[in-house]
Amino acid sequence: MLDAIDRKLIAATQGGLPLVAEPYRALADELGLDEAEIVRRLARLLEDGAIRRIGAIPNHYALGYTANGMSVWDIADEAVADIGARVGALDFVTHCYERPRHPPLWPYNLFAMVHGRTRDEVRAKVAEIAVLVGPAARAHEVLFSTRILKKTGLRIAA
Amino acid sequence: MRSLDPTEKAIINGLQGGFPLTQRPYRDAGAKLGLSEGEMIEEIGNLVAGGQLSRFGPLWNAEALGGAVCLAAIAVPRERFDEVAERVNAHPEIAHNYERDHELNMWFVVSTDAPERVDQVIAQIEHETGLRVRAMPKTREFFVGFRVEV
């Protein structure tokens, strides 16, 4: 569980780390803690999964990855854990989740997000997933985003 | 889109994780890329200012922070699309909203500090728009090792 200091650390770093030679010391000064405490907390939060990773967080669009395809798959419930693990392991899949179906409009229970420079590149990658999944997929589609209507980052108050 | 030089590519490809928890992390990370501490700080600053990086630092996991995130979709009649987008986006809990090419043509993410708020926000949107919202909370997350290559 997170305590009040963890939440302050989130608020202080959700826009990024200080770009100075000793960024953890700078954070420590800002929060009135010592540097070792900051490092210890960040290490724990990484280990617990509250921080997924620390480093460069790319802006897909600005890097030319403008095609964004949400591939969705109708996989037998008993097979989805195994198939999902294999699809998620592909190096071009950015998110991979099991979600509830909403039949008949929405029969799909496995979502795998694929980014690429062009729609054709995304379609080729989705075809690779189809080969990997094989007959376990009863149906699939890829939904391209045609417009970003809103995009804001995660914002946690201290 | 401006093209990236080899140094910028090395930073983006090589540092999407694993930034050291040391006293001089820019120096230590730069050593592996053949860059000085000063160069690292300057290059990263330029990539953030130029928008190629959204930011440089920890990528926080919203759910692990005690909040809740839920994907949801609406089949919006074409002639009402802009009006419905405006109503949905007006909720501060909507973090992202995308138009997609499907009968379910509006896909958004509800992100809240308190898990019980997700259902309330969805119910409000249904009330305000008169349209059915299909909630698609994740029931299982599969590990992904994705990294952007530039």
Q: Please give chain B's pLDDT, 150 residues, in tens.
A: 678 999 999 999 999 999 999 999 999 999 999 999 999 999 999 999 999 999 999 998 877 777 788 999 999 999 999 999 999 999 999 989 999 999 999 999 998 878 889 999 999 999 999 999 999 999 999 977 666 677
> What CATH architecture applies to the domain A67-144?
2-Layer Sandwich (3.30)
* Inter-chain CB proximity A91 and B147 less than 8 Å: yes
Nearest alpha-carbon partner for B111 in B65, B69, B62, B59: B69
Q: What is the pLDDT of residue A158?
A: 41
Nearest alpha-carbon partner for B106 in B144, B78, B147, B65: B78
A148 pLDDT exceeds 60? yes
CATH no. of B63-136: 3.30.70.3460
φ/ψ of B106, rounded to 5, equals -125, 120
| B122 and chain A in contact, CB less than 8 A | no
More confident position, B80 or A158: B80
Nearest Cβ partner of B71 from A96, A99, A152? Answer: A99
- Domain ranges across chain B: 6-49, 63-136
Whether the upstream peptide bond of residue B25 has omega within 30° of 0, thus cis, is no
| A57 and chain B in contact, CB less than 8 A | yes
Q: What is the pLDDT of residue A153?
A: 55
* Inter-chain CB proximity B100 and A146 less than 8 Å: yes
Token pair belonging to B11: 């930073």
Closest chain B CA to residue A88: B144
Q: What is the pLDDT of residue A60?
A: 83
Contacts 24+ apart (CB under 8 A), A76-84: A76/A136, A76/A138, A77/A109, A79/A136, A80/A109, A80/A110, A80/B140, A81/B140, A83/A110, A83/A133, A83/A136, A83/A137, A84/A110, A84/B140, A84/B142
- Averaged pLDDT for residues A105-131: 95
Q: What is the pLDDT of residue A157?
A: 46
Which contiguous run of DSSP H or E holds residue A11? helix A4-13
Contacts of B124 (CB under 8 A, 6+ apart): B91
ipTM of the complex: 0.76
- Domain ranges across chain A: 4-48, 67-144
* Inter-chain CB proximity A2 and B65 less than 8 Å: yes
What digits encode the pLDDT tens for the residues A6-15? Answer: 989 998 998 8
